[in-house]
Amino acid sequence: MTGALLDIEDLRVTFTGRGHGREVQAVDGVTYSVYAGQTLAIVGESGSGKTVSCRALMGLLPPTATITGSARFQGIQLIGLSDDRLREHRGANVAMVFQDPARSLNPTMRVGAQIAEAVRAHRTVTKAQAREQAVDLLRQVHIPLPERRCSEYPHQLSGGMRQRVMIAIALACRPRLLIADEATTALDVTTQAQIMELLLELQAELGMALMLISHDLGLAGAYADEVIVMYAGRIVEQAPAAELAGHVRMPYTQALFEAIPRLERPAHAPLQVIGGRPPDPAALPQGCAFEPRCRLAADDCRAAAPPLAEHEPGHRWACWHPQGGAGGMGPPGEKGSRS
Amino acid sequence: MSAPLPELLAPGTEPAVARASRARGRGRARNLRVWLSAGFLIVLVCACFLWPLVYPVPKPTGGSILESGLPPLSPGHIFGTDPVGNDVFSRILYGGRVSFEVGVSVTAIGLVIGGVLGTAAGYWGGAVDTVIMRVLDVLIAFPALVLALAIAEGLGPSEMHVIWALSFFSIPAFGRIARSATLALRGQTFMLAARLSGTSRRRIILRHVVPNIMPQLLTFSLLGIGVAIILEGALSFLGLGIPLPEPSWGSMIAQGQGTLSASPELVLIPSAFLFVTVVALNVLGDALRERWAR
Amino acid sequence: MTEVPLLQVKDLVHEFRTDLGTVHAVSGVSFDVRAGETLGIVGETGSGKSTLARAIVQAPRPTSGSVVFRGADLVTLRGARLLQARRHLQMVFQDPFGSLDPKWRVRDLVEEPLIAYKTGDRTTRRRRVDEVLELVGLAGHSTRRPRELSGGQAQRVAIARAVALNPALIICDEAVSSLDVLIQAQVLNLFERLRAELGLSYLFIAHDLALVKQVSDRVAVMYLGKLCEVGPGEEVYRQPLHPYTRALLDSVPGTAKARATKTIRGEPPSPVHPPSGCRFRTRCPRAGQRCADEEPAMRELPTGHTAGHSVACHFPLMPVADTPVRSEEKIGETPR
């Protein structure tokens, strides 16, 4: 597929353990593409495989993971790459920002030193140059008084600031793709808004592609161009954000929309919930993984897993009995409007 | 039973189910360690205490000079005899009794006294904590060897005195462990929830604190028995512990030094028993710690 | 209708000393919770909302102020009397597993408050435990331990424990924030059902506005130890009066993407050194000189819709008839 920055095809990740035969299928055949300058959101609950699939791209999974399939970054196959090549690729091409900045930053190292370390990992510059670039990067992420901040330790910064530092580290070598793995989950809503705006601004400035991994469908809908919904290791629906907001097809996506409390709803209105839990990834069913919880399920759903296909232009889903075209959050443009 | 999928938002690199699955595999290996080491220790303890009662064994002291210096696997003396004519096997058994008696007593004293003091210090904090910790500090400041020497000189060496001397170590050690475990527990939300449920302080300590710090204390106990046994061995080796001619693994090693080239087994056999016992205690302690830390 | 509120918090202050200085976690908070209503408190990190919750239940006792629950001021009570007064006040915490003793079984956890308050004999208590577990949908799980439960189930055990004594008020301190969205919805529905069936009142504390609005009748917004705005949920969301409330609303994804940086800027100040006067002034686009000099008092403003909407601000976003407010308007700004 031409033009895509990142092409994932039938990515599968299995975890095996010693001493027993059980295999855990964390990612069960995922196919999608990311284009330069695009913002793609991958949404799912815990256990959906969204985090595992992205860490597979970065080579950050433990040795118990078996990765198959294809993940091409600008033509280079990432699966099976040697450690050295992966290290070059990490940071230079693809960078990642994680959820908990308190744990992702080294508490015993000054902030400036950590950014400089990232810079020197991929470019041959002197210590002084790296330090200068660190200050520049802090300025780019809108941290006030960047020279002073460089000599501070992570615990002296607030959560939002630490996350900005993480972003600065991620940007150190101008990656083509930035993956934000639940990067704003642990932040306050006002800080989250600031960080999201920063990411979009940087994306425009640097021409990066941005992948948002989140459990928050609202966040995805608001900030992404394209949204992928994952369940039990598979993609169940994919569409442009605006389209998804108005025309949800997969009953699971619909359930996610309905379960989120929204400002527009009146107080005490009962939330539509579905019972049950996602399937055990060590024992995925043959048919549709969502079938036991689906209100539209029928016999053919148990027999075979529906394939992901583009049933409407730009809108893919994997369902034998998709619901009609309405639902979701309502047509775009009406979000948040108040009389 | 498949591991439940937690719906908590805690993204990690490996799905929780995979971790749980792998943990179960490790669990089986761990069970093996627990059973093997526990089994070995039980057999050894039973042998030391019960064998002479059910099966006639030559006395450990007062051997006949006619039978001195016999090598291992001699008829009637499976481990041979020492230069004075005592049966080594019998001395190993009786010496083992001493080791276990001292090891368990010292640990039990530490666990009970140190455990209670440490838990009180950790739970109440403030002045209670300060006072108790200073008392424990005083105990720990005594150099054990000097103390043992002083006691042995002043009161004469005996098993009881060894236990007293070593308790000076074990009480503060358990005290510290109990205190830090209790402190860690105090910050837990379920402690606050228990208070809000109306539970009395006394009941909280008995039903919430103790069951939760017990695993750590018990693990430490097993390792502590090993340490105490070694210390008793050292003290007896130096002549400050069990007085001759009563057997102790430590004093047997000391005695055997004299005839090391001629009969190395007199040193090697008690050393081997000491070593294997302590290793078994450590393996058991580690394995139980892993299992209880789940 | 002058009905005595179930809970009356007045001028509650809680401060504590750390190595960095005195943390002014809660600095004079007053509000009421009426019987049968749910009051939601929205606040971000550092707002002091969790400290507030703990101060209300006297764990630890607040520095000053009064907490009158069912006619008795909890701050003045000690020992057995505090125990009795607190019987009808329970709490559900954020971490479902953290609030359950891992060594205990579900039925013992739920029975604990019944034992503490000596309600009946063992048979009666056991029956009540089964009853309550049935109520939260966990019948049959009574012999399990917390590690055998999922997050949602564990939280339901905590709720069962809270409900066992038939309390009047339950404080929910971020009670659903750690749960996955579908499970969160289930637990929220459970809260609503219990509210209807048992006539409970809630003090619902969270950082998610939509969540708070979903479950609350009235909403209070908290910032750095003080309340900014209190009013009926719909009112506060449709016509926010305080600039911070406005900023919170603008930050919700999907509402007004690009406006967030115009309605709030910078980082939250430290609760050790809160700004003088109005604590929000360092981040407020409408701040004026008066904001630095004088702390705004909570005033009830006539909104024309319903009474009971108050705000603590010198330059509130006062609505005029039905025209929407433009937040770029600044009233009486003087250079700082």
SS (H, E, C) C248-274: HHHHCCCCCHHHHHHHCCCCCCCCCCC
- In tens, the pLDDT along B213-267 reads 998 899 899 989 988 888 888 888 877 777 777 888 888 888 888 888 888 888 8
Q: C213 and chain A: CB distance < 8 Å anywhere? A: yes
Q: A274 and chain B: CB distance < 8 Å anywhere? A: no
What are the φ and ψ backbone dihedral angles of A306, each rounded to 5 degrees?
-70, 140
Based on the fold, state whether residues C156 and C264 are members of the same structural domain: no
C44 with A190: Cβ contact below 8 A: yes
Distance of residue B30 Cα from the nearest chain A Cα, in angstroms: 12
Enumerate the residues of chain B whose CB falls inside 8 A of the CB of residue A17. 18, 21-22, 24-25
For chain C, the chains sharing at least 3 beta-carbon pairs closer than 8 angstroms are A, B
A64 with B15: Cβ contact below 8 A: no
Based on the fold, state whether residues C179 and C110 are members of the same structural domain: yes
Q: What is the pLDDT of residue B11?
A: 40
Please tell me which residue, B5 or A140, carries the higher pLDDT value.
A140
d(CA A17, CA A7): 29
Task: Please give the ipTM for the structure prediction.
Answer: 0.85
Helix, strand, coil proportions of chain C in percent (round to 5)? 35, 20, 45
Report strand pairing: A234-240 vs A226-231.
antiparallel
Based on the fold, state whether residues C132 and C195 are members of the same structural domain: yes
Domains in chain A: boundaries:
6-229, 232-317
Do the Cβ atoms of B178 and B114 come closer than 8 Å?
Answer: yes
C253 with A271: Cβ contact below 8 A: no
Residue C60: asked if its preceding bond is cis (omega within 30°), the reply is yes
d(CA A185, CA A198): 15
Task: Give the total number of structural domains in chain C.
Answer: 2
Which residue do the tokens 């739970």 mark?
B123
Residue A9: which H helix or E strand, with range? strand A4-16
Please tell me which residue, B232 or B106, carries the higher pLDDT value.
B106
Enumerate the residues of chain C whose CB falls inside 8 A of the CB of residue B203. 116
Q: What is the pLDDT of residue A123?
A: 79
Q: Which domain holds residue C184?
A: 7-220
Based on the fold, state whether residues C39 and C154 are members of the same structural domain: yes
DSSP string, C289-301: HHHHHSPPP-EE-
What are the φ and ψ backbone dihedral angles of C48, each rounded to 5 degrees?
95, 10
Do the Cβ atoms of B17 and B47 come closer than 8 Å?
Answer: no
Alpha helix ranges (H) inside chain B: 16-54, 88-109, 115-124, 126-141, 144-155, 159-186, 189-196, 201-204, 210-237, 249-256, 265-292
Q: Does residue C22 lie within any of the structural domains?
A: yes
Q: A62 and chain B: CB distance < 8 Å anywhere? A: yes
d(CA B204, CA B222): 26
Q: A313 and chain C: CB distance < 8 Å anywhere? A: no
Enumerate the residues of chain A whose CB falls inside 8 A of the CB of residue C257. 197, 222-223
d(CA C217, CA C5): 14
**Tokens, residue A190:** 């006002």
Based on the fold, state whether residues C296 and C179 are members of the same structural domain: no
Q: Does residue C229 lie within any of the structural domains?
A: no
List the strands of the sheet with C64-69, edge to edge: C21-33, C7-18, C64-69, C72-73
Enumerate the residues of chain A whose CB falls inside 8 A of the CB of residue B2. 280, 282-283
Which residue do the tokens 């913002």 mark?
A39
Q: What is the pLDDT of residue B12?
A: 44
Query: Does the structure show a pLDDT above 80 at B15?
Result: no
**Tokens, residue A250:** 């997969």
- In tens, the pLDDT along A170-223 reads 888 888 899 999 888 878 888 888 888 888 888 888 888 999 999 888 888 888
Instruction: Tally C-beta pairs within 8 A across B and C.
Output: 75
A18 with B28: Cβ contact below 8 A: no
Instruction: Tally C-beta pairs within 8 A across A and B.
Output: 81
Please give the residue of chain A at the shortest CA–CA distance from B29. Answer: A19
d(CA B240, CA B251): 10
- In tens, the pLDDT along B18-41 reads 666 666 666 667 778 888 889 999
Enumerate the residues of chain C whose CB falls inside 8 A of the CB of residue A339. 238, 322
Distance of residue A67 Cα from the nearest chain C Cα, in angstroms: 27
Do the Cβ atoms of A206 and A34 come closer than 8 Å?
Answer: no
**Tokens, residue A200:** 């979009």
Task: Enter the DSSP assignment of B5.
Answer: P
Task: Enter the DSSP assignment of B237.
Answer: H
Based on the fold, state whether residues C252 and C108 are members of the same structural domain: no
Residue from the list B2, B5, B13 with its beta carbon closest to the beta carbon of A60: B13
**Tokens, residue A225:** 């161009």
Nearest one of C249, C166, C159, C193 to A268, comparing CA atoms:
C193
Distance of residue A51 Cα from the nearest chain B Cα, in angstroms: 7
Please give the residue of chain B at the shortest CA–CA distance from A19. Answer: B25
With pLDDT > 90 as the criterion, what percentage of chain A qualifies?
16
Based on the fold, state whether residues C189 and C267 are members of the same structural domain: no
Based on the fold, state whether residues C99 and C60 are members of the same structural domain: yes
Q: Does residue C73 lie within any of the structural domains?
A: yes
DSSP string, C30-81: EEEE-TT-EEEEEE-TTS-HHHHHHHHTTTTPPSEEEEEETTEEGGG--HHH
User: What amino acid occupies position B127?
Assistant: A
**Tokens, residue A126:** 């002197």
Do the Cβ atoms of B287 and B222 come closer than 8 Å?
Answer: no
Length, in residues, of chain B: 294
**Tokens, residue B184:** 């860690």
C309: Cα separation from own chain's centroid: 17
Distance of residue B1 Cα from the nearest chain C Cα, in angstroms: 10
B13 with A24: Cβ contact below 8 A: no
Q: B46 and chain A: CB distance < 8 Å anywhere? A: no
Q: Does residue C173 lie within any of the structural domains?
A: yes
C267 with A259: Cβ contact below 8 A: no
A46 with B10: Cβ contact below 8 A: yes
d(CA B175, CA B168): 11
C189 with A273: Cβ contact below 8 A: yes
Which residue do the tokens 């909280």 mark?
B204
C248 with A190: Cβ contact below 8 A: yes
Enumerate the residues of chain C whose CB falls inside 8 A of the CB of residue A184. none
List beta partners, residue A178.
Answer: A95, A210
C86 with B196: Cβ contact below 8 A: yes
Which one of A189, A203, A329 makes the best mutation probe of the C interface by having the most chain C beta carbons within 10 Å?
A: A189
Length, in residues, of chain C: 336
Average pLDDT over residues B117-137: 93
Do the Cβ atoms of C267 and C199 come closer than 8 Å?
Answer: no
- In tens, the pLDDT along A36-47 reads 889 999 999 888
| 3-state class (DSSP) for residue C131 | helix
Residue C24: which H helix or E strand, with range? strand C21-33
Residue from the list C99, C103, C182 with its beta carbon closest to the beta carbon of B211: C103
Residue from the list C98, C115, C153 with its beta carbon closest to the beta carbon of B190: C98
Q: Does residue C138 lie within any of the structural domains?
A: yes
Q: Does residue C147 lie within any of the structural domains?
A: yes
For chain A, the chains sharing at least 3 beta-carbon pairs closer than 8 angstroms are B, C
Based on the fold, state whether residues C108 and C29 are members of the same structural domain: yes
List beta partners, residue A28.
Answer: A12
Average pLDDT over residues A313-337: 63
| 3-state class (DSSP) for residue A95 | strand
Please give the residue of chain A at the shortest CA–CA distance from B9. Answer: A46
Query: What's the sign of the alpha-carbon dihedral B275, B276, B282, B285?
Result: negative
d(CA A284, CA A291): 12
Q: Which fold has domain A6-229?
A: Rossmann fold (3.40.50)
**Tokens, residue B266:** 């007199």
**Tokens, residue A337:** 């409007």
Do the Cβ atoms of A204 and A223 come closer than 8 Å?
Answer: no
Enumerate the residues of chain A whose CB falls inside 8 A of the CB of residue C255. 222, 263, 335-336
Distance of residue C252 Cα from the nearest chain B Cα, in angstroms: 20
List beta partners, residue C68.
Answer: C8, C73
Residues 176-235 of B with CB under 8 A from C: 188-190, 192-200, 203, 207-208, 211-212
Q: A173 and chain C: CB distance < 8 Å anywhere? A: no
Nearest one of C53, C12, C47 to C271, comparing CA atoms:
C47
State which of C189, C220, C251 marks the end of a domain: C220
List beta partners, residue A23.
Answer: A16
Enumerate the residues of chain C whose CB falls inside 8 A of the CB of residue B200. 116
Enumerate the residues of chain A whose CB falls inside 8 A of the CB of residue C247. 190
d(CA B167, CA B190): 34
C183 with B188: Cβ contact below 8 A: no
Based on the fold, state whether residues C50 and C199 are members of the same structural domain: yes
Based on the fold, state whether residues C173 and C135 are members of the same structural domain: yes
Based on the fold, state whether residues C201 and C256 are members of the same structural domain: no
Contacts of C10 (CB under 8 A, 6+ apart): C30, C65, C66, C67, C68
Do the Cβ atoms of C258 and A194 come closer than 8 Å?
Answer: no
**Tokens, residue B223:** 């390792």
Nearest one of A88, A32, A24 to A225, comparing CA atoms:
A32
Which domain CATH number covers C169? 3.40.50.300
Q: What is the pLDDT of residue C265?
A: 75
List beta partners, residue B69.
Answer: none
d(CA C285, CA C267): 14
Q: Does residue C333 lie within any of the structural domains?
A: no
Please tell me which residue, B19 or A104, carries the higher pLDDT value.
A104
Residues of chain C falling short of pLDDT 50: 1, 256, 258, 320-336
- In tens, the pLDDT along A107-155 reads 899 999 999 988 888 778 888 888 998 999 998 888 888 888 888 998 8
Do the Cβ atoms of A104 and A185 come closer than 8 Å?
Answer: no
Do the Cβ atoms of A199 and A96 come closer than 8 Å?
Answer: no
- In tens, the pLDDT along B61-104 reads 777 777 777 777 777 778 888 887 788 888 888 888 888 999 99
